[in-house]
């Protein structure tokens, strides 16, 4: 990853934070997208990226907001001088005691964050990725074996796994790889 310019959504914690740190240690500059309330965590991960000798760009935003997603891609490509790798890692998940607890608003929020935002960020990033670019989507074992009490999340991860396969076919002609990690 030496010299690669990367954007990791949800890079302030969990899998996203681990990816940000690992990418920096492998030589990549890292932009971290995170919800504004997670500033402290994102700052700690950025410090570790910089400790590895790489550039860190902190990008507070809600990726499900179309205008903020556009601003995110514009900022990242400007501050990093382009984009080579997009890691769609951010996700929304909520536990439900029963089916009756799942509201349509919760269902929509989960799909807005976990599916629609991934499509939109990929759409916005593709003109910057070019030949040799890569999109990596964080899916889940729930895409193959859904957990009933997180049904909306599980459904989005199934959609994301399918979206990944479709994007891989569509973007191959541009030299852009698209993969999912479960």
Q: How buried is residue 164: exposed, middle or buried, by Cβ count under 10 Å (0-12/13-18/19+)?
A: buried
Please identify which of the residues 23, 34, 92, 153 carries the catalytic annotation: 153
> Got the DSSP string for 9-69?
ETTTSHHHHHHHHHHHHTT-EEEEEE-GGGHHHHHHHHHHHHHTT--EEEEE--TTSHHHH
Among all chains, which residue has been given the structure tokens 């500033």? 39
Is 23 noted as a catalytic residue in this protein? no
Active site residues: 153
């Amino acid at each position: 990853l030496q010299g690669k310019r990367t954007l990791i959504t949800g890079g302030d914690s969990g899998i996203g934070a681990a990816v940000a740190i690992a990418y920096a240690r492998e030589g990549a500059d890292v932009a971290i997208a995170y919800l504004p309330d997670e500033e402290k965590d994102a700052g700690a991960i950025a410090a570790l990226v910089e400790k590895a000798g790489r550039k860190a760009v902190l990008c507070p935003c809600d990726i499900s907001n179309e205008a903020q997603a556009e601003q995110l891609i514009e900022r990242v490509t400007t501050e990093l001088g382009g984009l080579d790798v997009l890691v769609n890692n951010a996700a929304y998940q909520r536990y439900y005691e029963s089916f009756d607890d799942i509201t349509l608003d919760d269902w929509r929020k989960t799909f807005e964050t976990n599916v629609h935002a991934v499509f939109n960020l990929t759409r916005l990033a593709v003109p910057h990725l070019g030949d040799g670019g890569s999109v990596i989507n964080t899916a889940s074992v729930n895409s193959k074996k859904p957990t009933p009490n997180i049904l909306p999340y599980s459904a989005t991860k199934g959609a994301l796994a399918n979206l990944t396969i479709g994007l891989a076919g569509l973007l191959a002609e541009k030299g852009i790889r698209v993969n999912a990690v479960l």
